[in-house]
């Protein structure tokens, strides 16, 4: 039990992390660029400059992108970014342990999670830690992190959007107050823009180096050279001189690798964090267990493997994530995705068409990419487990009933 008596939350280290501050990070990249890499892209490996450096010329893209879940997937704590509630009536979580409950409080020092543990009839131990980083846009839920010196830890409670309430963080045991779970670089690699790791233990970072929100340069590579060239008196004229990676110009495999940094599962890192640069082969940085074609892949964060299993992907040469997604804008309507199916399939090709007719129009995704429960993220609350629903990216034929959300209303 990691509960200390009356441990005061530290309030130092604040200054380097002003809310909203997005430090310009300069990082030199070494040998990770493959030899076969196009010359223009190699020139672009000079410096990371951050999203706001793109704003003067790509203002619409920046504004639109900053409204997406990618950008909001990590943030400084504010009453807007934290979805969990601090008001009376919704700021406590009881546990299966009658002697332990959690309380959430907000004051001018910040937002806190406090564990109260009755250790004897006369003694109550408390441990209180401040939310320093918010992880998750809140579409499904959020987890919260805190600093202890330069070490980053997870807080015991998360927020679950489906329940609009606090739950034990995924994988935590109900009835325990665990403040010891370390946050390693892979978590930040998928949920933040940039950061600098320090010598072990694995959860040590240069605190002021962390850039929250996924940045443009995670998909486009370092942009310093590109900005310089377009700010100069003789801006580039051909795409080859632009010194930036446009994923659309890469092979399908290298395009998938960009998304696969974070959407191909956890993997095992074989190079230091953030070594991958768009255009690289992901395999040189991360290895993924090779699964038998029939093995069950969890639908959480494994969209690449699942899509690759689809006939649509295997028997076409063009399908990538970008066939359906524009990552620079929020996409919330389901119907437009079905129009994408219709670029390769006629509605009549569905074997349900003879029976259901036009009722399937705009509903292709409901039956062929059903929402399913993940087996991976599990939170325990009130003695039962909650799991989010995720979109299965294996486009295929599913038994009737797999598509829970399908409504036969024309």
Binding of residue 168 to ligand HEC (CB under 6 A): no
Window 242 to 261, contacts with ligand HEC (CB under 6 A): 242, 244, 246-249, 256, 258-259, 261
For ligand HEC, the binding residue among 42, 127, 191, 285 (CB under 6 A) is: 191
The least distance separating ligand HEC from the CB of residue 122, rounded to whole angstroms, comes to 37
For ligand HEC, the binding residue among 41, 100, 115, 227 (CB under 6 A) is: 227
The least distance separating ligand HEC from the CB of residue 189, rounded to whole angstroms, comes to 7
| Cα Rg of the chain, angstroms | 23
Binding of residue 387 to ligand HEC (CB under 6 A): no
Q: Residues binding ligand HEC: what is the number (CB under 6 A)?
A: 105
Residue 350 near residue 277, CB atoms below 8 Å: no
Binding of residue 394 to ligand HEC (CB under 6 A): no
The least distance separating ligand HEC from the CB of residue 5, rounded to whole angstroms, comes to 27
The least distance separating ligand HEC from the CB of residue 251, rounded to whole angstroms, comes to 13
Among 18-26, 99-107, 115-123, 302-310, the segment contacting ligand HEC (CB under 6 A): 302-310
Among 12-20, 22-30, 109-117, 225-233, the segment contacting ligand HEC (CB under 6 A): 225-233
Q: Look at phi and psi of residue 76 and say left if phi exceeds 0, alpha if psi is from -120 to 50, else beta.
A: beta
What is d(CA 54, CA 113) in angstroms, rounded to the nearest whole number? 37
Window 4 to 23, contacts with ligand HEC (CB under 6 A): none
Q: Is the CB of 125 or the CB of 170 nearer to ligand HEC? A: 170
What is d(CA 266, CA 71) in angstroms, rounded to the nearest whole number? 20
Q: Is the CB of 15 or the CB of 296 nearer to ligand HEC? A: 296
What is d(CA 92, CA 89) in angstroms, rounded to the nearest whole number? 7
Window 204 to 223, contacts with ligand HEC (CB under 6 A): 214, 216-220, 223
- Torsion sign over Cα 183, 291, 262, 159: negative
The least distance separating ligand HEC from the CB of residue 60, rounded to whole angstroms, comes to 9
Window 58 to 87, contacts with ligand HEC (CB under 6 A): 58, 61-62, 65, 68-70, 73
Q: Is the CB of 9 or the CB of 221 nearer to ligand HEC? A: 221
Calculate the CA 331 to chain-centre distance.
Answer: 16
Binding of residue 228 to ligand HEC (CB under 6 A): no
Burial tier of 311 (Cβ tally within 10 Å: 0-12, 13-18, 19+): exposed
For ligand HEC, the binding residue among 33, 300, 378, 385 (CB under 6 A) is: 300
The least distance separating ligand HEC from the CB of residue 29, rounded to whole angstroms, comes to 15
Task: Kindly report each contact of residues 309-318 with a partner whose C-beta sits within 8 Å and lies 24 or more positions away, as own/partner.
Answer: 309/394, 309/396, 310/393, 310/394, 310/395, 310/396, 311/395, 311/396, 312/344, 312/395, 313/395, 316/344, 317/252, 318/252
The least distance separating ligand HEC from the CB of residue 278, rounded to whole angstroms, comes to 8
Instruction: Please state, as a whole number, how many other Cβ atoms lie within 10 Å of the Cβ of residue 348.
Output: 9
- Tokens matching residue 403: 């598509």
The least distance separating ligand HEC from the CB of residue 6, rounded to whole angstroms, comes to 27
The interface mask with ligand HEC, positions 312-341, x = CB under 6 A, is x--xx-xx-xxxxxxxx-x-x-x--xx-xx
Residue 402 near residue 370, CB atoms below 8 Å: yes
Q: 99-117 in b/e burial notation, b at 16+ Cβ within 10 A?
A: ebbbbbebeeebbbbbbbb
The least distance separating ligand HEC from the CB of residue 95, rounded to whole angstroms, comes to 20
What is d(CA 323, CA 320) in angstroms, rounded to the nearest whole number? 5
Window 113 to 152, contacts with ligand HEC (CB under 6 A): 135-143
The least distance separating ligand HEC from the CB of residue 40, rounded to whole angstroms, comes to 8
For ligand HEC, the binding residue among 203, 368, 370, 381 (CB under 6 A) is: 368
Distance between the two ends of the chain, CA-based, in angstroms? 56
Q: Which residues contact 263 (CB under 8 A, 6 or more apart)?
A: 301, 302, 303, 304, 321
Q: Residue written as tokens 């070494």?
A: 30
The least distance separating ligand HEC from the CB of residue 383, rounded to whole angstroms, comes to 22
What is d(CA 278, CA 284) in angstroms, rounded to the nearest whole number? 12
Binding of residue 167 to ligand HEC (CB under 6 A): no
Q: Which residues contact 223 (CB under 8 A, 6 or more apart)?
A: 44, 47, 48, 49, 53, 54, 216, 217, 244
Among 84-92, 101-109, 183-191, 378-386, the segment contacting ligand HEC (CB under 6 A): 183-191
């Amino acid at each position: 039990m990691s509960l200390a008596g009356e441990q005061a939350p530290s309030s130092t280290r604040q200054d380097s992390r002003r809310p909203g501050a997005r430090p310009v990070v300069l990082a030199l990249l070494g040998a990770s660029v493959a030899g076969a890499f196009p010359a223009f892209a190699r020139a672009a490996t000079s410096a990371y400059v951050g999203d706001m450096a793109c704003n003067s010329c790509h203002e619409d893209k920046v504004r639109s992108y900053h409204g997406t879940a990618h950008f909001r997937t990590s943030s400084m704590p504010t009453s807007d970014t934290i979805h969990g509630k601090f008001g009376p009536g919704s700021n406590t979580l009881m546990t299966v342990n009658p002697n332990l409950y959690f309380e959430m409080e907000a004051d001018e020092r910040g937002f806190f999670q406090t564990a109260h543990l009755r250790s004897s009839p006369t003694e109550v131990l408390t441990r209180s830690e401040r939310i320093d980083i918010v992880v998750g846009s809140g579409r499904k839920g959020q987890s919260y992190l805190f600093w202890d010196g330069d070490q980053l830890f997870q807080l015991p409670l998360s927020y679950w959007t489906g329940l609009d309430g606090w739950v034990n963080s995924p994988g935590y045991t109900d009835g325990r107050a665990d403040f010891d779970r370390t946050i390693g670089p892979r978590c930040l690699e998928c949920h933040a823009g940039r950061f600098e790791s320090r010598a072990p233990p694995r959860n040590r970072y240069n605190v002021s180096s962390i850039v929250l929100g996924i940045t443009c340069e995670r998909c486009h590579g370092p942009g310093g050279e590109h900005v310089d060239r377009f700010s100069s008196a003789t801006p580039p004229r051909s795409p080859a001189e632009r010194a930036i990676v446009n994923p659309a110009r890469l092979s399908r495999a290298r395009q998938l690798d960009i998304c696969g940094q974070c959407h191909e599962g956890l993997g095992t890192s074989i190079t230091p964090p953030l070594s991958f640069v768009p255009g690289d082969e992901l395999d040189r940085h991360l290895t993924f267990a090779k699964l038998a074609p029939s093995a069950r892949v969890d639908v959480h964060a494994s969209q690449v493997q699942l899509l690759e299993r689809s006939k649509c992907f295997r028997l076409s040469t063009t399908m990538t994530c970008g066939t359906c997604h524009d990552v620079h804008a929020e996409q919330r309507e389901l119907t437009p995705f079905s129009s994408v199916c219709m670029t390769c399939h006629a509605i009549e090709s569905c074997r349900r068409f003879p029976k259901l007719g036009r009722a399937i129009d705009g509903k292709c995704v409901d039956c062929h990419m059903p929402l399913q429960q993940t087996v991976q993220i599990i939170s325990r609350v009130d003695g039962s487990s909650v799991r989010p629903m995720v979109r299965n990216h294996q486009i295929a034929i599913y038994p009737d009933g797999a598509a829970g959300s399908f409504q036969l209303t024309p």
